[in-house]
């Protein structure tokens, strides 16, 4: 079975990975055994630890009895009494367990004493009755154990109060941090709102500046149109004056002067109508107009100057251009009234409308 060089390298890498995995497993097993050897004996240790040890005394000796034993040698050293007095034994206690009998006092030897120095015998103090043995722990020790438990309870309560205090302090710190975070969020929101307001004011100012600029441009355009209309009106009035003077001169001349005068009056009127329509012919600058556009229109005007009909002999290729042509004629209406020397009921006037130009047909 043959292997390529790539397959050979892949097999080598797989073998190396298996060797590394076996090493890791062996190390993990050794570590686990070491941990078990340390902690396993403690898991099976079942010895109980006494939480409290109370010492019980099965024999209770009164202090008076001990003091009497200590005082016995001292009495033996003192001068003996004239007559020995036997001390009666103490009565047995009512308990079932008899206390140990005290040792008998030492026998006193009679000593002869002179008559002059006779000593009055002093009876010995009676021995104190031994207390019975009790199997119950003394109250003092029980009270100490109770005091220990109370102390532990007090320590636990103090620890609980301390934990509660720490929890309250932690809650207060968390609340303070939340309050500070809320304040920072409110400050950030106010800053963003102020920034948006500044941007809005800037946009409003820019829009107002743009509107002011457009208004100024529109005002300049209207002023130019008004000046052009005024100049055209002055020129038309001057031309009309000249034509009227020429008509009067022609009328005063003999021959066919009346027919010539009629023609001159009609031409003068047509010129004034063209001047009026030209003053209203303004295309908006919202787009660039094709200079090849052409619309031929014939309008019919009565003697009062009213436009009776608008007829397109030729429309342009742009419907918007045709609408502007018709609107220009309607805005210019009514036209000037017929002169008194123009004896007609109506007249037709033709115009060639082009972008920025107006001519007669």
**Could you report the per-residue pLDDT of 108-119, keeping only the tens digit for each?**
444 444 444 444
Query: Which pLDDT score, from 0 to 100, does residue 40 have?
Result: 77
Average pLDDT over residues 248-261: 57
pLDDT winner (highest mean) among 57-71, 105-119, 257-271? 257-271
Q: Which of 89-93, 211-215, 353-357 has the lowest mean pLDDT?
A: 89-93
Whether the per-residue pLDDT at 332 is higher than 60: the answer is yes
Residue identified by tokens 């022609």 is 250
Average pLDDT over residues 177-197: 94
pTM recorded for the entire structure: 0.32
Q: Which of 30-34, 154-158, 180-184, 338-342 has the lowest mean pLDDT?
A: 338-342
More confident residue, 42 or 206: 206
Query: Which pLDDT score, from 0 to 100, does residue 73 have?
Result: 47
Half-sphere exposure of 219 (CA within 13 A, CB side): 6
Query: Which pLDDT score, from 0 to 100, does residue 133 have?
Result: 52
Q: Which of 140-149, 272-281, 330-339 has the lowest mean pLDDT?
A: 140-149
The DSSP element (H or E) to which 299 belongs, if any, is strand 295-302
Average pLDDT over residues 38-45: 74
| Helix, strand, coil tally for the chain in percent (to 5) | 55, 10, 35
Whether the per-residue pLDDT at 322 is higher than 50: the answer is yes
Query: Which pLDDT score, from 0 to 100, does residue 11 have?
Result: 78
Percent of the chain with pLDDT over 70: 64
Collapsing DSSP to helix, strand or coil, 359 comes out as strand
Whether the per-residue pLDDT at 184 is higher than 90: the answer is yes
Q: What is the CATH number of domain 253-360?
A: 3.30.1150.10
Contact, 294 vs 316, CB < 8 A? yes
Whether the per-residue pLDDT at 139 is higher than 70: the answer is no
Query: Which pLDDT score, from 0 to 100, does residue 291 have?
Result: 87
Confidence class of residue 284 from pLDDT cuts 50, 70 and 90? confident
Q: What is the pLDDT of residues 74-90, one digit of tens each?
A: 444 444 444 444 445 55
Mean of all residue pLDDT scores within the chain = 75
Confidence class of residue 122 from pLDDT cuts 50, 70 and 90? low
What is the spatial distance between Cα 280 and Cα 328, in angstroms, rounded to a whole number? 6
Contact, 272 vs 336, CB < 8 A? yes
Query: Which pLDDT score, from 0 to 100, does residue 95 have?
Result: 44
Confidence class of residue 321 from pLDDT cuts 50, 70 and 90? very high
Peptide bond into 353 cis (omega under 30): no
Query: Which pLDDT score, from 0 to 100, does residue 262 have?
Result: 65
What is the spatial distance between Cα 185 and Cα 143, in angstroms, rounded to a whole number? 61
Average pLDDT over residues 203-210: 92
């Amino acid at each position: 079975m043959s292997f390529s060089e790539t397959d050979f390298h892949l097999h080598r890498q797989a073998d190396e990975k298996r060797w590394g995995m076996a090493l890791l497993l062996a190390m993990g097993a050794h570590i686990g055994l070491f941990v078990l050897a340390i902690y396993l004996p403690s898991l099976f240790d079942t010895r109980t630890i006494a939480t409290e040890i109370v010492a019980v005394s099965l024999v209770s000796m009164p202090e008076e009895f001990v003091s009497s034993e200590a005082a016995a040698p001292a009495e033996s050293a003192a001068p003996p009494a004239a007559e020995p007095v036997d001390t009666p034994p103490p009565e047995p206690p009512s308990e079932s367990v008899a206390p140990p009998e005290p040792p008998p006092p030492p026998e006193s030897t009679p000593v002869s004493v002179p008559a002059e120095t006779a000593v009055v015998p002093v009876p010995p103090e009676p021995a104190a009755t031994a207390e019975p043995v009790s199997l119950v722990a003394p109250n003092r020790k029980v009270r100490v154990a109770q005091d220990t438990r109370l102390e532990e309870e007090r320590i636990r309560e103090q620890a609980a109060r301390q934990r509660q205090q720490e929890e309250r302090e932690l809650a207060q710190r968390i609340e303070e941090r939340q309050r500070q975070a809320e304040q920072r969020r409110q400050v950030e929101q106010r800053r963003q709102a102020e920034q948006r307001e500044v941007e809005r004011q800037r946009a409003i100012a820019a829009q107002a500046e743009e509107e002011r600029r457009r208004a100024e441009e529109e005002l300049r355009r209207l002023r130019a149109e008004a000046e052009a209309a005024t100049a055209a009106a002055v020129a038309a009035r001057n031309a009309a004056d000249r034509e009227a003077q020429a008509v009067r001169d022609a009328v005063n001349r003999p021959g066919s002067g009346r027919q010539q005068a009629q023609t001159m009056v009609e031409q003068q009127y047509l010129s004034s109508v063209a001047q009026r329509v030209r003053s209203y012919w303004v295309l908006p600058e919202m787009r660039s107009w094709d200079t090849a556009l052409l619309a031929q229109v014939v309008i019919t005007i009565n003697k009062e100057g009213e436009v009776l009909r608008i007829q397109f002999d030729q429309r342009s290729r742009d419907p918007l251009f045709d609408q502007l042509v018709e609107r220009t004629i309607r805005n210019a209406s009514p036209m000037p009234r017929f002169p008194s020397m123009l004896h007609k009921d109506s007249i037709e006037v033709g115009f060639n409308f082009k972008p920025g130009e107006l001519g007669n047909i």
